[in-house]
Amino acid sequence: MLSFTDEQIKRYSRHIILPEVGGKGQKKINNAKVFCVGAGGLGSPVALYLAAAGVGTIGIIDADVVDLSNLQRQILHATPDLGKPKVESARETLTALNPDLNVVVYKERLSVDNIMDIIKDYDIVLDGSDNFPTRFLVNDATYFAKKILISGSIFRFDGQVTTFKHNLETSPCYRCLYPEPPPAGLVPSCQEAGVLGVIAGTIGVLQATEALKEILGAGDSLMGRLIIYDAFDMRFQEVRIHKDPNCPLCGREPKIKELMTYEQACHL
């Protein structure tokens, strides 16, 4: 039988009264384990909304400390948190929002050496990283580990979001969309860095929405579709992502059989 405390019934009542969620769905949310790559612009709205929704275990990796220039968009952190490790600030913010939550923090950089061991404990990985080497690493690792990857990225006034269901053989992967990262100095270039802070919210909330639907097993996912958000012209566009039979990772004759490290092209 579903066992909720009176407080939980009240806290999650707006979920529980939704026929598509109900007590059963809320229990799935409470038992879910998700992993956020980054406690920054995208990781903030992702983790906040998933914590509010009652996701039982939220893992967060980030090696950095809170900097004043982060606060324009990284809403997990506030001015008194300056200088504090982002994962500690995140833990405090999230547990204040929802004491039911188990927050697992990793104050380190994600690498070939630690990623497989970390993600094995989670159902869903949400990528909010700011660089291509990490993005390809997360794609490859979640593919090998057969984990669902919900990928969001932002740059200037643009955002992209999609879902890769690496637990299904029919799903494309990030390399089907973009086979290789840009070499150093090419599009998008370091000189053009910058982002309208609020776009992190838009894209992160779409990622969190996809995560909740995967947990609930409800609705149509973004698998095979890329949503492109152009905030400047206020346009959402959708394009197809095909599984590429020639994909170096998930194609018929894969060339990539183990994790690899790319050189950091541009650290924004």
Partner 1 sequence: MAVKVRIPTPLRRITANQGEVDAEGATIGGLIEDLEKKYPGLKERLCDETGAIRRFVNIYINEEDIRFMQGKDTSVKDGDEISIIPAIAGGSEV
Smallest distance from the beta carbon of 11 to partner 1, in angstroms? 28
Q: Cβ closer to partner 1: 68 or 187?
A: 187
Smallest distance from the beta carbon of 37 to partner 1, in angstroms? 6
Q: Cβ closer to partner 1: 22 or 179?
A: 179
Neighbours of 248 (CB within 10 A): 17
Give SS3 for 137.
helix
How far, rounded to the nearest angstrom, does the alpha carbon of residue 258 sit from its chain's CA centroid?
A: 22
Neighbours of 64 (CB within 10 A): 14
Strands 57-61 and 102-106: parallel
Q: Cβ closer to partner 1: 42 or 55?
A: 42
Smallest distance from the beta carbon of 49 to partner 1, in angstroms? 16
Smallest distance from the beta carbon of 165 to partner 1, in angstroms? 19
Q: State how far the Cα of 137 lies from the Cα of 112, in Å rounded to an integer.
A: 7
> What is the DSSP annotation of 6-25?
HHHHHHTHHHHTSTTTHHHH
Q: Cβ closer to partner 1: 8 or 139?
A: 139
Q: How many Cα atoms are found within 13 Å in the side-chain-facing hemisphere of 124?
A: 30
Which residues contact partner 1 by CB under 8 A?
A: 37-43, 61-64, 74, 86, 109-110, 127-132, 134-135, 152-160, 177-182, 186-189, 192-193, 195, 200, 226, 228, 230, 232-233, 237-242, 244, 267-268
Smallest distance from the beta carbon of 60 to partner 1, in angstroms? 10
Smallest distance from the beta carbon of 105 to partner 1, in angstroms? 13
Q: Cβ closer to partner 1: 84 or 156?
A: 156
Q: Cβ closer to partner 1: 220 or 233?
A: 233
Q: Cβ closer to partner 1: 144 or 155?
A: 155
Q: State how far the Cα of 56 lies from the Cα of 194, in Å rounded to an integer.
A: 34
Smallest distance from the beta carbon of 176 to partner 1, in angstroms? 9
> What is the DSSP annotation of 174-209?
HHHH-SSPPPTTSSSPGGG--B-THHHHHHHHHHHH
Strand partners, 85: 65
In terms of Cα–Cα distance, which of 262, 242, 240, 239 is closest to 251? 242
